[in-house]
Structure 1
Amino acid sequence: MILQDRMKVCSTRQIANNIIEMVLEGSLVKEITSPGQFVHIRVTDTLEPLLRRPISIASYDKENEQMTLIFRAEGKGTQLLAAKAVGDTLNVLGPLGNGFSADHSESGETALLIGGGIGVPPLYQLSKELTAKGVKCVHVLGFQTAAAVFYEEEFAALGQTRIVTADGSTGESGFVTDSLARNPVDFTTYYTCGPTPMLHAVQQAFQEQKGFLSFEQRMGCGIGACFACVCETQQGQDAAYVKVCSDGPVFPAGVVAI
């Protein structure tokens, strides 16, 4: 069920360069069904800015009705969101979209989780759920530079974790696919979220493997009505186009044309 909830800011902190972690509390959390879903936040109580901002859910605690969001504060909307203080309330619409399912991996198998930049957060709750059911998780997380790295310790507590930076300032140098080419991982299923070029490279590298991709796309309404986030599908799919906000953001490998 999609709710419009008034959620309270419980905590907020900067965890990397322009990267904010914010914990919100509200009844909407009980409606979350899977890792990788997102919420649409009105960052002010006015019509400026007009559009809500889509923010992925990094983790959630249904018992305490709390969820953790991680986002990059770079545009006007997300900078306004980052300026919120503990005790402030936000108009939140969600949970939205179809996320990752832990059911695609079985106990004793190995799952490869590949994240890039602000695509890393949705993989955290997924890793927690996979680990809880006995799946071994290997995380390969890519960032531009050392100052942009976040949640390294949190992921490391769940399983083997590699940090890869484009400029080589920390961890391995290059891109996530470079790291995996140098040191391959024996896995059953991969899950990935990040910029489209990274998703394309990962899908090309593992064409014979079972995988699931979460797409980052500009959105308008967030509920599938405005068609702002439409993507073309590969030939042979049931539909020529899919809407990332409502059909996704998570799709099986090979569905979206990238």
Structure 2
Amino acid sequence: MKNERMIIVRHEKLARDTHLLMLEGDLARDIADPGQFVHVKIDGFYLRRPISIADYDPLNDTVTLIYKVMGNGTKALTRFQIGENLDVLGPGGQGFPTSQIHSEHVLIIGGGIGVPPLYSTAKKLKENGVAITSILGFRSREDAFLVDEFRALGEVHVTTEDGSLGRSGRVTDALPDVKDNYQHYLSCGPTVMLKAVADLLPDKEGYLSMEERMGCGIGACFACVVESKDEKGYKRICCDGPVFKAGEVVLA
């Protein structure tokens, strides 16, 4: 991981309480896999904010983040302007192992702010010749984003909890609508969603990206520990994850 002051080159609202932030800097060249994150320092706040990487372009040195306003820190982040810079630490964690996924067809399942890291993942798989089907879940039409971008990569099913866009319900309600011809699934979202997805797809090989509050972001503080099924008994989401193979950790 490197610490860099990155320049803001784009900053706009995408959906309700959801913003896109594009940064320019050398850090873009260090991203190994889609699904990694950066730790952003916001002046006036002690802890950095972990934000997953939605897209990256090492040729143009840009990293795109999509974040949701969840509290005072992310609310303060919305006030940063194009041309200003941010103190960014990253890239952190283990992303989706796209180079190891040798499938003809992959199912992408994202819920809410879990959708962004799946976008660069889907793009990478598409570049590798993999067919993509996506299920994207949101609370309502006002909360939806990146739907057209995913449609450019393949078939898309949208669910909203209030039924204002796509199918009414949660992402798991759309699983029967998807043809069962995919070999892998990749998912990111709340833990309860990940558990439901894994329970419904026990015969498929999957990778799950966990959302969690973090302290240091490098594995030293043990603030983001999750129970694992190996002899060690635990994993640190910030450095051992956030992406885990389905069944590797306990989804309480």
Map 1:97-112 onto structure 2 (within 5 A). 97-106=93-102, 109-112=104-107
Report what 2:21 is aligned to: 22
5 Å-filtered alignment, 1:97-176, equals 97-106=93-102, 109-176=104-171
SS in 1 for 2:192: helix
Unaligned runs of 5+ in 1: none
* Structure 2 gap ranges (5+): none
User: Does 2:78 correspond to 1:79?
Assistant: no
Q: Within 1, Cα distance between the matches of 2:117 and 2:231? A: 27
CA distance, structure 1, for counterparts of residue 220 and residue 148 of structure 2 = 39
- For 1:215, the aligned partner's letter is M
Deviation at 1:182, TM superposition (A): 4.6
For the residues of structure 2 that align with 1:231 and 1:24, how far apart are their CA atoms? 31
CA distance in 2, matches of 1:53, 1:185: 38
2:61 and 2:53 map into 1 onto residues whose CA distance is 13
Residue 104 (structure 1) shift: 3.3
Equivalent position SS for 2:142: helix
Question: Which residue does 1:93 correspond to in 2?
Answer: 89
Aligned partner of 2:3 in structure 1 is 4
Aligned to 1:242: 235
1:209 corresponds in structure 2 to 204
- Give 2:12's aligned residue: 13
| 1:251 is aligned to 2:244 | yes
For 1:199 and 1:151, locate their aligned partners in 2 and report how far apart those are by CA, in whole Å. 20
How many Å separate the matches in 2 of 1:230 and 1:150? 30
Which amino acid is 1:8 matched to?
A: I
Matched residues, number: 251
TM-score (norm 1): 0.95
SS at match of 2:6: strand
Q: Percent identity?
A: 46
Superposed structure 1 runs of 4+ greater than 6 Å apart: none
Q: Which residue does the alignment assign to 1:35?
A: 34
Classify the secondary structure of the residue corresponding to 2:108: strand
